[in-house]
Structure 1
């Protein structure tokens, strides 16, 4: 397995880390909340709500990242080291994105999001 493939696994796990922060950091998620977790998450506010929103965005971007990694591998136009570097940079951008989302740094978050999308596009470009 390449580093880039391991990064795909990390991208798949990141949304679950976000929802864990949203659910379990307040001490109010118990058995009753587990019967309707979507209702519980919809009722959150503040930074916990933003953690939930970061979860949703992480689920949205993961398929595009996974596709970019797989296509870059299959196309063979770029070195493995370059693909791995772009994948690691994407995961770092996602970690910053999640941190910015939770901290409510909206302008910075948007810039970091565009950087992440740019890294996905870069994988296609270098593989061409």
Structure 2
């Protein structure tokens, strides 16, 4: 029986799956543990609570949603590239680059750097298309 290890590209899929969870945690940061009367996080109705948020909390929640939206294409591209025996080093580098760009995207979302965020989004999309066509 042979055992194969996960490639860097496959590890980036795990990281991509964790990014929305990190964004959700940021959106709730400092509000968990506070009473609902004081505006604390409402775990009984989390979506309504998040919908009422503004500024960086609202942006963190939006980054969470966008991270979920970007994930299927990325995962699909990585799997397809593996199935088509794409050059592993190139695939690993592009997948890692995509994750770094997505992290920058989240940081720019939080910092309200809208134009740069959009530029990074387009770059990440281009990298994802590159993965697909490796």
Q: Give the TM bin, normalised by the shorter chain.
A: over 0.9
Out of 79, 94, 99, the residue aligned to residue 91 of structure 1 is 99
Shift of 1:26: 4.1
Structure 1: give runs of 5+ residues left out of the alignment: none
- Normalised by the size of structure 2, how large is the TM-score? 0.88
Report the 3-state secondary structure (helix = DSSP H, G, I; strand = E; otherwise coil) of the residue aligned with 1:33: coil
Out of 51, 55, 77, the residue aligned to residue 42 of structure 1 is 51
- Normalised by the size of structure 1, how large is the TM-score? 0.92
Name the structure, 1 or 2, with higher relative contact order (CA <8 Å, separation 6+).
1
Aligned to 1:51: 60
1:23–1:29 contact (8 Å) kept in structure 2: no
Structure 2: give runs of 5+ residues left out of the alignment: 1-5
1:122 aligns with 2:130: yes
Q: Distance in 2 between matches of 1:15 and 1:107?
A: 21
Compare CA radii of gyration and give the structure with the larger one: 2
Q: Distance in 2 between matches of 1:115 and 1:25?
A: 32
Cα deviations across residues 8-63 of structure 1 (Å, max 9, x unaligned)? 00000000000100012345665770000001110100011100000000000001
Shift of 1:124: 1.6
Aligned to 2:3: none
Q: Distance in 1 between matches of 2:113 and 2:65?
A: 17
Report how many residues are paired. Answer: 125
Aligned to 1:72: 81
